[in-house]
Each structure stands twice: as structure tokens, then as C-alpha cells.
A and B are shown apart, each in its own frame.
Chain A
Amino acid sequence: MTQTRKAWFALFFTAALCLFSPSTRAEEGFAPCGAFQRILFLASDDTRLHQEVFQGLRSRLPREIPLVYTALGGPDAAPWVQSTDCPCCLVVTSGTRALQHAVKRVSRARILSITIPREAYDRIMAQVPDFRRYAAVYMDIPLGQRIAITRRHLAGMERFAIVQSAQGPFAAQGADDPAEVVRLVSHGEADLVDTFTRAARQADAILTLPDRRVYNPRTIVSIMMTTYRQGIPLIGHSEALLRAGALLSIHAPPQRLGTEAASLILRPPADWGGVRRHTREQVVAVNEQVARALRIHVERP
């Protein structure tokens, strides 16, 4: 085949796939299923994070259960997704992009979404008419629960502050916040130090959010130094924040997200589509150096 013909073929092939892609077809019937014939682990990308989640999953599933790892961007991802799209098959999506892909490309298999924040999941699923094939275990820990955990570990924590960006994903949130939470808005990196200084004056601890306009590699040193100078602890949502200088982090380690998914796979509930919950795998890690520097005693209940 000449190069020109190859190019035309690719173009037609692409156009055909676009026209007849799964998302454009009607949703097929949802049949009950005793055990999964085939399980595909579909990662958003081939990074250590998703590999660790997969390892957690693999470690808890019996070897006879077929489980395949693939990641978006890899040459074998599309064929694997296609071959796993059967009624008694399961696609475990790890990450936001993996779910977006599965929503478009998987029409018959069940989908279990892990390693995904609830906010992202809800936004993606807003376009999906039939939820019955979809289950999810969110990776984030609800705000109220984080406050309760923090109080168990730190005595005397009355008020909590949250700093969020003006245009970020949490801009519209706050209406349902507990009374002890105050939200402050940062309009950019220029006012970040001032915003955290104000937050420190209004609260006993600052709870972080996964708002990358606020918390990112460019800003984190200023944030940590500001809160440290103000003597206020930062309660992080990730281990990286703990390492960077947060006093506590309340997070779910990747491997344990995988093991939690395995439990669900081994004992799938009858109401598969009704499973939408936050992870129960919470780890509270303490940065002892910071605790000491701030003279804060961390209880270990």
C-alpha cells in the first residue's frame, strides 16, 4: 500500500470510528452477573501512582481471576478495552481520564471507578444517562470527616480555615460547610501569602483542598513558610503535602485504594450501580518535625 493510500485508509477508518463510536450507540441491556469473566485495570496513565493502585488490587485478588493492566496512551489500551467490553466483564478505571475514556468506549462491561475524587466523578457522570453499570469508590475524604479526624488527633481545634482559588473547582462550594469552617478566596499567587496570613488569624488549623491554583509546586514553599511563621498547622489531603511541611495528612494510600477495590470485586453487591461512596481507607500521617517545631501534641487515639 502506498503512503497516500495508507493515509486515506487511516482517515476513513478514523471517520468511521467517530461516526460509530460506542458513545453514539444506544446503551445495551444490563444483565445480572455472578462473577466477572474478565477484568481490565485501565489507568489514566502509566505512572507509579496507578501502578501502586494496581499492585494493591492484584495482591488481594486470587491469581485465577483474570486481571489485565493497561494505561491510556499505551498502544494496547484500545484493544484491551474493546476485548473487555462484554456483559460479565469489569473495567476498573483508575483516575479521571480513565473513567472519561470508559464512559465513551465501554458499553456493556461494568465499570468500577477508583483513584478519582468525587467532584471529578460527578462531573463526568453528569453526561451518563444510565448509572446501573457504574460503581465508584472516591479517593477523597469528606470535609466533615476530615474535621472529625483532625479533632481526634489535635485537642482544642475549634475553627478551621480553607483557602481556595476564585476560579477554581471549589469556588461554588461552601454553602453546606459546618459552622466552624471559614473559607477565604485567593485571587492569584500575588495575594496568597496575605490570604494564608488572614486564614491563620481566623482559625486554629487550615484544611487544604485539591485546588491546584492554590497548592502546586510553585506556591507550596510560600504557603508552608507562611503558615509556619504564623504558627498554624496545615492539615493536608495528600502525603506530598505532609512531606512538604503539613502537620497532618489525612489521605488514602494508592495501594489501599486497590485493596479496597478488590474487596468490592470479590463480593460484588447486587445493586452494583448503587455503590458510590468515599474510600474507607484513611491514613492519618503526622510530620513529627513540624509537630515539634509548632509545639503541637498530636494524640494517637
Chain B
Amino acid sequence: MALARMIQPFPPRGTAALAGLLLAGACLHPAMAQEDWPTEQDYYMDLPVALTATRLQQPLQEAPASVTVIDREWLAQSEARNLTDILRQVPGIIVGRENGNRPIVTYHALAEQFMRQVQVLVDGRSIYNPTSGGAQWLELALPPQEIERIEVIRGPNAAAYGSNSFLAIINIITRHPAETRGEQVVTRLGSNGIRDLYLRHGGTTQQSAYRLSVYHREDEGFTGNHDARDNTALRGRFDWDLAPGVTLTSQLGLTYADNDFGSDATPEYPEGGFTQDSGHLHLTLQDNRDPDALLKVQYFFNFNNLHDGYSLDPRRTVERDAHSRRHDLEVESHLQVRDGLRMVWGGGARLDASRSQAYLGHDRWVRDHVYRLFANLEWSPDRRWLVHLGGMYESNELSGSDLMPRLALVYMPDAHHSLRLVATRALRSPSQVEKRFNERLAPPPMSGLDLEPEAIQSLELGYHGQWLEGRLASDVKLFRDRFSDLIQIPYDAAYYRIGTDGYFRNAGDMDLRGIEADLDYRPFADLRLRGGLSLLDADPQDPEARRQADSVPGHIFNLGLLYRFSSPWRLSAEYYYYDDIRWVDDSRGPPTDAGDGFLDLHLRRRLGPETHLAVSLTDLLASGYDTRTPASLPPANRRGTEGYVSLSMEF
């Protein structure tokens, strides 16, 4: 920077003289070692931004939705091997298992193996598969050690997250790498072939922080089933502080999954296996120079290659390979317009591409573009009222253009209690396979049938309150969801290749009403309880929606406990139950429930400052089947109690 100089300095004469002067200076002023006392640098040093708007959680009292947060404390105590097991602690969430060691996760309804109505985001990156739809849980392979918290928005919120944020949004926020410095090793050995290994190295430099990890999981799946898995994931995250308040975050991931599936007992589902290699690159630039404003630009690229096949007989092999790609660019700005008025707005563009001879009927890439604009205003006319008004306008080659709005009123009579009224509309656009399936397999005249997006209109009246000096947090909601234009999928033809006369079509409306409670209670410092209860009632508006209505259980219940009963010992327990569910993609199977429920116990002992040993017993109340029964088309999942020992060391 050029600074005014009013008097010309005496020019030093010659290099030697200058060297002498400098040397003299050094002699007169002994080397300025790092002083032990504070200097001005301690007041003006640049520091990385730790709490950005995207990292901070919106207070639940003010949220225009019902939100459950699995926080760092809960995750740190978790010895769960799968992220989906942790999600059982979210009220209303249904977690099932499909053959091939694949989880099924939905909220309230429409449970099937390709759950397309739940959006899953990792630091803002959607893991939705554009080819067949649904979250790629196998690709995720994210251990609890790397997660800061999981926010589950229980209800549609397409106004903020776009189409397919239809039933719920699972928002996973990973930990800043500066928090995971050093090395960590977690090993796990157990029954049924459980062999896991997690290795992590993290570090910091003056202006960056990074984390590299490998996560390997192996097990045999359900006892007696042919659904072993052997999954390995490599992940890296690098955060660079480009300037004070400006951060570039790069995340890379590669996952390889080798899973068995099928059974000799199910001719439509013969023994086979699939491999899946997938990966992502995620770049996020955040400008947080002004703490009250945030500009975020993010780009991500996901790829997924599924190699899937089985032999019906030695001369006939069925190949079901599928490849997908997703490029997504988004710009988002958070502004404090004035006191009491905040705004988040932005836009984005996405390119989805798929290639699959088996599902699309040819071996060429098909591409679809999505463009979106969104804005959400939050206005607080006084401290007791909040008005949320927002919407997402999406132009989608698969389903046309549409607006997905949301209006919410939040009334906060005091700092601890709030009432909310939320009205919203969301869409679930067809996947690339759904959209094009009719062209190939549907009989005329259905072959030209166009597919519209599924729609949901949701109305929610909720209460959030904190009691007992914040030790008890409660959330209760009454809701009514109206589903329309439900996409009827010819499961037998599309999934199991039974007949070829199926076609995809929009048919059926359904009402879903219910009440749901979420509690988080700390009776004292060493004990934490959380629980949830959902009472649901589905009412099909026409016979077409009967199958979807039958997928709604009468109630879902969860209870979790964390207890530190003496200094080195900790106990965690999780119980989970759902009532009868008729899985949408299983036309032959009877409704299944959770039997006596799922109960997992984890006992942990601290061996050193950063070392602990844990013993886990999962599904202690095992009886019957999980998700699929012997009468189902897919192979039955016979439940069984498993156990494993985990050792975690940090250096």
C-alpha cells in the first residue's frame, strides 16, 4: 500500500553500508524471539471462521418445521456401525433392510427399496441418485467420528432444498478438520463376520486444515442370507483460509462396495452380487468476512457405477449395470436486510446423466437439466413473532417447471416456548428411469404416457418448548399431508421381471394425518434420554393409493439413553419399534412389524485419555423377520442378535 511520505528518507549508501546497518540493528535489538507476553498480533491475528451460517443450527424454537437433531454428544457415544441405525432415534423414521445389505430409510410412508422421497445431504451435497432415484446409502460410508450433527427435518421442505425433499430431509454436517487433528484408529470385530477398520489422519497448517480417512466395513448381512458386504471408503477434506473470513472447502470421496444378494429360494431373486464404485468431488467457497452475511458458492460432482448381474442359468445372464453422474452448481447468499429481516436467496443449475442398457433400453447417456431459483424471507415484526415466506422455482426437464412454496408463522410467547403453523407444498420428480421406462416396456398406448411429479401439500401445527431450565426439550406436532399424483410403479415388471406389462403412471391420492412427539431429557448431568412417538392414520382417497396407505404404520416409537454411571463407564441403549408396514415394493409379502422391537446396547469403558473399548449387542429382542418375510418376493431377512467389540484410539 502506498503511503504518503512527507520527508524523503536518507538513502543508504551502498549495499555494504546497508548490510552493516542491518547487522547493527540486529546487534542492538537481539533477535525478536516470540515474546511470551501478548503483543498486538494477539489482537489482530487472522483466525479461521468456525461458526458460519451453514454450520450454525437454527434454534428449534424458531424453525419453520419440526426438526430433530442428533448432536455431537450423541454421535460421540454412538457405537453404531451404520448411519441408518442412528437415524432410528428420529421420531417417525422407518429403517428397514433390503437384501444385498442395503438400508431402506423413509419417514412415515411409502417404504420401498429405492426410497425416492427423502432427501439426504452431506454438507449441502445431495447423495440422490438420478438414475433410479433415492439416496445412495452405500456410497455414504460416513462414520460418526466425522459427523458434527445430523439435522432431520421431519416434513416436506422443497422451498429450501428443492424437489425430492418430499417426506423429510436428512442433513448431515461433517466436522471441521481442525477438530479432528492427529490420528485415530477404530477397529471392530464381531459375530457374523463383522470386521471394521477406520483410520484417520488430520492436521493443520497456518492457513488450512485437512483430514484423510479410510473406512472399511465387512459383515455377512443377515444370518443365512446371501447378502455379505465388503465396503471401503476413502475420504478427504481440506479447508483453506484464503483470506480472513474466506474459506475454500474441498471434499473428495471414493467408495467401493462389493455386496452379495439374492437367494436360491427365490427364483425372481437368484443369488448374485453387485459391485458399486462411486465418488464425489465437492468444492465450497464461503465468504464470511461480514459475520452477518454469507455468500456461498458450491459445486459438486457425484458419480456412481453399478455392476450388477446374476445368472438364471449357465447360458442366461441378466445384466443390470447402471451408471450415473451429477454435476451441481449453486450460489447462495444469506443477508441481514435490516433489523428483524433476514433473507436467503440463490440459484443453481444441475446436470444429471444416466446410462444403463438394462433400465433405459440403450447404452447411451441420457441427460437432464434442472435450473432453480430460491428465496426465503424471515421477518420478525417483534420478538414474539416470526414469519417465514419462501419458495423454490424449479425448471426440470423431467417434470417441467413448478413453484414449491412455504409459509410459516412462529409465535414465541417467551424465550422457551413457541407455536408454529406451517403450510408447504413439495414435489417428487420422476427419476430418469421412471420417466423413460414407459417408452421401452409399457404396452401401447401407455408407452407414450408422460409422468408428472408426485405432490404433497402439508399443513402442520407444532409446539416446541423447553422446560426444567432447558433440561427437557419437547416438540409436538399435529399434521395433515395430502399426497396426490402418486407414481404407481409396476414393481413386479420393473424390479423382479415378472411379466412385462407394467407401466409407470400417476394415480392415487392419499391423506396422512397424525401426531408426533419428540423429547430430549437430561434428568441429571450423567443421564440423557430421548424418545419419540408417532401416531399415524393414512386414508387413501381412491383405490389406487391403497398400497401406499398400507405402507403407513399405525405408530412408531423410539427411546434412547446415554448414561455415565461411573467415571470410565458409559452405557448407551436404543430401542425402536414400528407397527405393521406393507412395503410398497413387495406385492406378495404380508405386513411386517418390528416384532418386540429393535434393542441395541453399547457398553463403553475408557482406557485412557483418548482410548476406549466398547462391547455392543445389537437386536437383542430379535425374533421373526426384518422388512422381508419368507412370503416376500425378495429373500427373507431373519433377524438375529449380533455382538461386536470396538477399540478406538486417538494419538
Contacts and interface: CB of A to CB of B under 8 A. Distances in A.
Interface in A62-81: 66-70, 75-80
Given A10-B19, A100-B29, A289 B53 contact: yes
A210 interface: yes
A243 B27 CA distance: 40
A77 to B, nearest CB: 8
B179 interface: yes
B61 A210 contact: no
B50 A120 contact: no
Interface in B198-225: 204, 206-207, 209
Contact of B61 (A9, A21, A104, A295): A295
Interface string B49-63: 111110011110110
Contacts of B35: 96, 120
**Most chain A beta carbons < 10 A, residue from B48, B53, B204, B336:** B48
A67 B39 CA distance: 25
A23 B1 contact: no
A87 interface: no
Contacts of A79: 9-10, 12
Contact of A14 (B20, B36, B71, B207): B20
Interface string B581-595: 000000000000000
A18 B39 contact: no
Nearest to A292: B59
B46 A240 contact: yes
Interface in B138-184: 148, 175-176, 178-179, 181
A211 B73 CA distance: 28
A218 B209 CA distance: 8
Contacts of A30: none
A267 interface: no
A240 to B, nearest CB: 4
Nearest to B209: A221
B400 interface: no
B6 A240 contact: no
B37 A217 contact: no
**Most chain A beta carbons < 10 A, residue from B36, B47, B56, B73:** B47
Interface stretch (B286-294, B492-500, B563-571, B622-630): B286-294
Interface residues of A, number: 87
A78 to B, nearest CB: 5
B51 A14 contact: no
Contact of B71 (A78, A223, A229): A229
A111 to B, nearest CB: 15
Given A75-B12, A244-B51, A225 B179 contact: yes
A6 B47 contact: no
A47 B21 CA distance: 22
A115 B45 contact: no
A289 B51 contact: yes
B39 A95 contact: yes
Nearest to B610: A190
Contacts of A18: 24, 27-28
B177 to A, nearest CB: 8
A220 B62 CA distance: 28
A200 to B, nearest CB: 12
A24 to B, nearest CB: 10
Interface stretch (A48-56, A144-152, A175-183): A48-56
Contacts of A135: none
Contact of B179 (A14, A222, A242): A222
Interface in A81-123: 82-83, 94-97, 100-101, 104-105, 115-117, 119-120, 123
Contacts of A207: none
A115 B41 CA distance: 9
Interface string A23-46: 100000000000000100000100
B5 interface: yes
A241 B59 contact: no
A168 B39 CA distance: 13
Nearest to A101: B29
Contacts of B46: 217, 240
A115 B44 CA distance: 10
A7 B17 CA distance: 10
Given A66-B7, A140-B43, A229-B72, A221 B176 contact: yes
B244 interface: yes
B48 A244 contact: yes
A297 interface: yes
A120 B38 contact: yes
B42 A210 contact: yes
B640 interface: no
B415 interface: yes
A212 interface: yes
Contacts of A69: 3-5
Contact of A80 (B9, B24, B148, B244): B9
A217 B1 CA distance: 26
Contacts of B25: 77-78
16 contacts: A18-B27, A67-B6, A68-B5, A68-B9, A69-B4, A70-B9, A168-B36, A190-B609, A225-B72, A240-B47, A242-B291, A243-B288, A243-B291, A289-B52, A293-B51, A295-B59
Interface of A: 1, 6-7, 9-10, 13-14, 17-18, 21, 23, 38, 44, 48-49, 51, 54, 58, 66-70, 75-80, 82-83, 94-97, 100-101, 104-105, 115-117, 119-120, 123, 139-140, 167-169, 190, 209-212, 215-218, 220-225, 228-229, 237-245, 251, 254, 285, 287-290, 292-293, 295, 297
Given A104-B29, A218-B181, A293-B57, 15 more contacts: A10-B19, A14-B24, A44-B40, A66-B6, A66-B7, A75-B12, A79-B10, A83-B7, A96-B39, A97-B39, A211-B42, A217-B46, A218-B204, A238-B42, A243-B289
| The 4 A-B residue pairs with the shortest CB-CB distance in the complex, in nearest-first order | A245-B51, A210-B42, A224-B50, A221-B178
